């Protein structure tokens, strides 16, 4: 990911504006952040609070209401990056000659040079001392002229001095991840002895990298909103143009009619304009909401970038959690905004014949179907709940309209929708799905599908039915362990053959028909399996300590050894391979060419068995641990599994139903569990039904496949 913006890239005039308070118009003094991410001098905020007389104060820039925390202005978060920008501005102004620079070491004369190691402007005498005294050995002194030529970017910035520990008086040069705070060396011996801590110089760069990586979804939100705004502007233009075309048609038609029709003509033109105005107002309102949301997200992006690039290590680490939380909240909140236009240029008219004066002198209508219930709802629909949609078709009768709902996984199944008309060309369609998975809603008028049909609908089971759906065995296999689904919706299963059976990878349909086998004379005990988007098959061998990569037709492409000791599973997350080594208690990360990218130590999860995304979730001895999903990611927390009476032993596999947000875990002795992201159990299939469950996966239709070490793959539906 690209580095964030450097404040020294900005012109001096722009930087001067950024260090100027919008309230007092002076240089920021002890700048504090309001919850809306705008910042002002502490004294300015205090004056605003006093003027509000106990009521919430309004941000001078965005006008959002803000209530001060119990500690008042002092309890607000400091804007660390402002001090960094002030330091940058001061050095830039001196380098460019806008401010007279005096020696910062002796304070006795004007500066003529700059020491890059001291990050100070110095006079001629001090410059000569740098060349003679051993204490300054290795210091590079540049003349002001050279400094001007190199520009402000060539000026190194001075790091803020370490904060002293209030308990021990030592500088806080370490960060405790358990307590989420800065500590000193003495703290590690006493209060934080058993905690996970690291030097700032080591953990701060990783946190910067993680925060930069976390910015990507927000930046994508901004890009999507910018694109959506352009679409709205374009649609506004189309609506106006379509209105003009309709009005011209109406005008030409009614010019051929007698004067007695002029009144009716005016009414229709007015109707067309009214419809268009309503649409434009709806689009304009949507655009305003989008612009406000876009500005909010952009402000947060800029705010995080400033903190990442414009604060010291200690300052960054003190607010890293707040930054990450803010970004996650903003992304979730703004992802819920509809980016589809709320109105489209679909106005048309039914024109009367110029030769006959009809009883109905035309109408202006919206001819496209209303699909809001399908377009605006991204959440799955519960099985047994009706899918509803409205259709506007002025020229159609009730007999002309039909609808059906088909399950993608079972094309032979089809439900006919109920169609009700209100007599004015508006039809209500309702159909209730009975099975889980992806469905296509097909809507036809006069035996022709309308625009946008078929509409994709995803159906989930109610919580009360989780783990109680259909269950059947697929195929006859020799001690299967790992299972995944390829891009052809076929099952890919490893057969371990530990009791003298065949050691191979088997590809079969969801009905159990075998279509391919991959065998290799280097196999000892093939265990985990993953298939990438190109069809390549990645297999871990737990006994040989290797990772194999095969082409889609079974040709061995690459073998990785030495990096692994006992690899039991492999998953593909964000186009990277995550391999769990149960003996070494780590997750090794590879790129798709099997080159090592990083390592996540999982000592908090003994004997890890499998990993899943959304975190990174690692399953081991009866517990699920969450780590930062990044090379060299750190431990975050254990998933609080409930109820406390759960019988847990050894988790063998883990996967995620991303449609419904469920975590599915196989337990060697206790069956298969379904959890919410909070850790609450919502479903269970016992080990009596699925004996010795191992690898587990879920396809895009919601079918869950579990390897039973007794010799088959069990299928059940969530």
For residue 294, give Cα distances in angstroms to 222, 331, 339, 664: 6, 11, 11, 36
Residue 94: per-residue pLDDT: 78
Q: Which run of H or of E encompasses 14?
A: helix 12-18
pLDDT at position 519 is: 92
Tokens for 614? 């959304």
CA-closest candidate to residue 380, choices 437, 454, 463: 437
The C-alpha atoms of residue 703 and residue 484 are separated, in whole angstroms, by: 12
Instruction: Give the pLDDT confidence score for residue 318 in this predicted structure.
Output: 82
| pLDDT (mean) for 19-39 | 86
Highest mean pLDDT among 131-140, 325-334, 408-417, 535-544: 535-544
Mean pLDDT of 571-575: 88
Closest CA to 6 of 156, 159, 178, 188: 156
Q: What is the pLDDT of residue 358?
A: 45
Q: Which of 635, 605, 645, 607 is nearest to 623 (CA)?
A: 605
Question: How far apart are the C-alpha atoms of 118 and 440, rounded to whole Å?
Answer: 68
- Residues 557, 567: Cα–Cα separation, whole Å: 19
Which tokens hold the place of 490?
Answer: 């076929």
Residues in the chain, total: 718
Bigger pLDDT: 504 vs 387: 504
Preceding omega of 514 cis (within 30 degrees of 0) = no
Q: What is the pLDDT of residues 433-453, one digit of tens each?
A: 888 788 888 888 888 888 778
Residue 311 reports pLDDT greater than 50: yes
Q: Is 206 helix (H, G, I), strand (E, B) or coil?
A: helix
| Average pLDDT for 220-247 | 85
Does residue 581 come out as left (phi exceeding 0), alpha (psi in the -120 to 50 range) or beta?
A: beta
Task: Check residue 492 and give its pLDDT.
Answer: 95
Residue 426 has pLDDT above 80, yes or no: no
Percent of the chain at pLDDT > 70 equals 87
CB 249 within 8 A of CB 346: no
Band of the pLDDT at 99, cuts 50, 70, 90?
confident
- CA–CA dist 489, 664 (Å, integer): 19
Structure letter (DSSP) for residue 417: P
Average pLDDT taken over every residue of the chain: 81
Q: How confident is the model at residue 364 (pLDDT cuts 50, 70, 90)?
A: very low
Residue 366 has pLDDT above 60, yes or no: no
Residue 149 pLDDT > 80: no
SS3 413: strand
Question: How confident is the model at residue 157, as a pLDDT?
Answer: 63
- What is the per-residue pLDDT for 312? 82
Q: 267: helix, coil or strand?
A: helix
- State the pLDDT at residue 386: 85
**Ramachandran area for residue 256 (φ above 0: left; ψ -120 to 50: alpha; else beta):** alpha
Residue labelled with tokens 């919601």: 702
- E runs forming strands in 67-147: 113-115, 120-122, 141-143
Quick one: which H or E segment has residue 93? helix 80-95
Task: Supply the pLDDT for residue 384.
Answer: 82
Res 351: pLDDT? 62
Q: What is the pLDDT of residue 541?
A: 95
Q: CA end-to-end span of the chain, whole Å?
A: 37
Most confident of 211-220, 275-284, 345-354, 540-549: 540-549
Distance CA(201)–CA(173), nearest Å, equals 8
Q: Which of 58-62, 391-395, 473-477, 519-523 is least confident? A: 391-395
Instruction: Report the pLDDT value the prediction gives residue 614, as an integer from 0 to 100.
Output: 61
For residue 373, what pLDDT is reported? 37
Q: Which helix (H) or strand (E) holds 322?
A: helix 313-335
Whole-number Å distance between alpha carbons of 23 and 265: 57
Q: Give the whole-angstrom CA distance, residue 154 versus residue 144.
A: 12
pLDDT at 74: 84
pLDDT of residue 254 exceeding 70 = no
Higher per-residue pLDDT: 10 or 4: 10
Q: Do residues 713 and 493 touch, judged by C-beta distance below 8 A?
A: yes
Name the pLDDT band for 369 (thresholds 50, 70, 90): very low
Q: What is the spatial distance between Cα 31 and Cα 251, in angstroms, rounded to a whole number?
A: 63
Classify strands 455-460 and 381-382 as parallel, antiparallel or unpaired. Answer: parallel
Distance CA 433, CA 153 (A): 63
Q: What is the mean pLDDT of residues 598-616?
A: 82
* Residue 659: count of CB within 10 angstroms of its CB: 20
Virtual torsion, Cα 39, 41, 44, 45, nearest 10 deg: 50
Phi/psi for 186 (5° steps) reads -65, -30
Instruction: Express each pLDDT in 611-647 by its tens digit.
Output: 876 667 888 888 888 888 777 778 888 888 888 888 8
Give the residue carrying structure tokens 């048309």.
348
Which tokens sit at 394? 């002025």
- pLDDT tens-digit series, residues 160-205: 667 788 888 888 889 999 888 899 988 988 888 889 999 988 898 8
Predicted confidence (pLDDT) per residue in 459-484, tens digit: 877 766 665 656 778 878 888 999 99
Q: Tell me: pLDDT of 367 over 50.
A: no
For residue range 389-400, list pLDDT tens digits in order.
777 776 778 888
- The kind and range of the H/E element at 666 are strand 662-667
| pLDDT above 70 (res 378) | no
The span from the CA of 416 to the CA of 268, in Å, is 38
pLDDT at residue 160, rounded to an integer: 64
The domains located in the chain, with CATH, are 7-154 (3.30.40.10), 200-349 (1.20.120), 368-461 (2.60.40.10)
Range name among 7-11, 101-105, 668-672, 689-693 with the lowest pLDDT average: 7-11
- Report, as an integer, the average pLDDT of 96-120: 80
HEC letters along 480-503: EEEEEECCCCCEEEEECCCCCCCC
Question: How high is the pLDDT of residue 463?
Answer: 64
The percentage of the chain sitting over the pLDDT mark of 90, rounded to a whole number, equals: 15
- Give a three-class secondary structure readout of 286-306: HHHHHHHHHHHHHHHHHHHHH
The secondary structure element, H or E, covering residue 428 is: strand 426-431
pLDDT grade, residue 571 (50/70/90)? very high
More confident residue, 137 or 568: 568
The burial of 576, by beta-carbon neighbours within 10 Å (0-12 exposed, 13-18 middle, 19 or more buried), is given as: middle
Spatial separation of the C-alpha atoms in residues 198 and 67, rounded to whole Å = 36
Helix segments in 353-511, DSSP class H: 372-375
């Amino acid at each position: 990911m690209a580095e964030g913006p450097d404040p020294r890239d900005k012109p001096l005039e722009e930087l001067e504006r950024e260090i100027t308070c919008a309230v007092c118009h002076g240089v920021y003094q002890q700048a504090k952040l309001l919850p809306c991410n705008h910042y002002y001098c502490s004294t300015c905020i205090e004056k605003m609070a006093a003027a509000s007389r106990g009521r919430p104060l309004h941000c001078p820039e965005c006008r959002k209401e803000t209530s001060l925390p119990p500690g008042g202005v002092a309890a607000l978060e400091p804007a660390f990056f402002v001090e960094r920008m002030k330091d940058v501005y001061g050095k830039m102004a001196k380098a460019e000659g806008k401010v007279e620079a005096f020696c910062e070491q002796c304070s006795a004369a004007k500066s003529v040079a700059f020491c890059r190691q001291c990050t100070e402007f110095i006079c001629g005498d001090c410059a000569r001392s740098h060349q003679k005294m051993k204490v300054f050995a290795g210091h590079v002194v540049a003349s002001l002229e050279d400094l001007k030529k190199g520009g402000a970017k060539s000026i190194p910035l001075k790091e803020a001095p370490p904060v002293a520990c209030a308990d021990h008086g030592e500088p806080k040069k370490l960060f405790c991840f358990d307590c989420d705070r800065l500590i000193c060396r003495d703290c590690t011996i006493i209060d934080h002895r058993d905690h996970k801590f690291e030097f700032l110089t080591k953990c701060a760069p990783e946190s910067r990298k993680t925060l930069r990586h976390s910015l990507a979804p927000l930046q994508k939100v901004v890009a999507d909103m910018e694109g959506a705004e352009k679409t709205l502007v374009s649609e506004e233009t189309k609506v106006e143009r379509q209105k003009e075309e309709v009005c011209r048609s109406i005008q030409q038609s009614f010019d051929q009619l007698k004067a007695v029709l002029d009144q009716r003509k005016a009414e229709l033109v007015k109707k067309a304009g009214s419809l268009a105005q309503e649409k434009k107002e709806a689009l304009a309102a949507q655009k305003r909401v989008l612009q406000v949301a876009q500005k909010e997200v952009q402000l947060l992006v800029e705010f995080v970038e400033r903190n990442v690039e414009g604060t010291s290590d200690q300052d960054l680490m003190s607010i890293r959690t707040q930054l990450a939380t803010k970004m996650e909240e903003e992304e979730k909140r703004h992802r819920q905004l509809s980016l589809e236009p709320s109105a489209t240029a679909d106005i048309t008219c039914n024109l009367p014949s110029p030769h006959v004066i009809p009883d109905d002198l035309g109408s202006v209508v919206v001819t496209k179907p209303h699909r809001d219930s399908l377009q605006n709802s991204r959440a799955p629909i519960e099985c047994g709940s009706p899918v509803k949609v409205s259709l506007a078709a002025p020229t159609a009768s009730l007999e002309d309209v039909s609808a059906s709902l088909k399950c993608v996984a079972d094309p032979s199944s089809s439900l006919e929708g109920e169609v009700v008309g209100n007599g004015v060309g508006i039809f209500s369609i309702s159909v209730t799905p009975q099975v889980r998975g992806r469905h296509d809603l097909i809507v036809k008028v006069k035996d022709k599908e309308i625009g946008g049909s078929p509409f994709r609908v995803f159906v989930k089971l109610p919580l009360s039915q989780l783990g109680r759906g259909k269950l059947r065995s697929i195929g006859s296999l020799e001690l299967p362990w790992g299972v995944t689904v390829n891009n052809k919706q076929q099952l890919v299963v490893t057969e371990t053959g530990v009791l003298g059976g065949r050691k191979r990878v088997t590809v079969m349909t969801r009905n159990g028909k075998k279509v391919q086998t991959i065998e290799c004379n280097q196999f000892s005990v093939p265990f985990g399996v993953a298939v990438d988007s190109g069809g390549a098959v990645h297999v871990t061998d737990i006994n040989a300590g290797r990772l194999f990569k095969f082409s889609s037709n079974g040709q061995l492409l690459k073998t990785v050894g030495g990096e692994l000791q006992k690899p039991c599973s492999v998953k593909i997350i964000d186009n990277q391979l995550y391999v769990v080594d149960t003996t070494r208690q780590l997750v090794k990360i590879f790129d798709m060419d099997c080159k090592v990218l990083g390592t996540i130590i999982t000592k908090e999860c003994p004997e890890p068995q499998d990993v899943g995304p959304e975190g990174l979730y690692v399953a081991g001895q009866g517990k699920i641990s969450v780590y930062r999903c990044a090379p060299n990611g750190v431990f975050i927390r254990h998933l609080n599994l409930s109820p406390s009476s759960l019988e847990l032993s050894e988790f063998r596999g883990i996967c995620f139903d991303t449609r419904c947000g469920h975590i599915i875990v196989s337990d060697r002795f206790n069956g298969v569990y379904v959890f919410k992201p909070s850790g609450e159990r919502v479903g269970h299939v016992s080990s009596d039904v699925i004996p010795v469950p191992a690898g587990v996966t879920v396809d895009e239709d919601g079918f869950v496949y579990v390897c039973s070490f007794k010799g088959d793959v069990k299928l059940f539906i969530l």
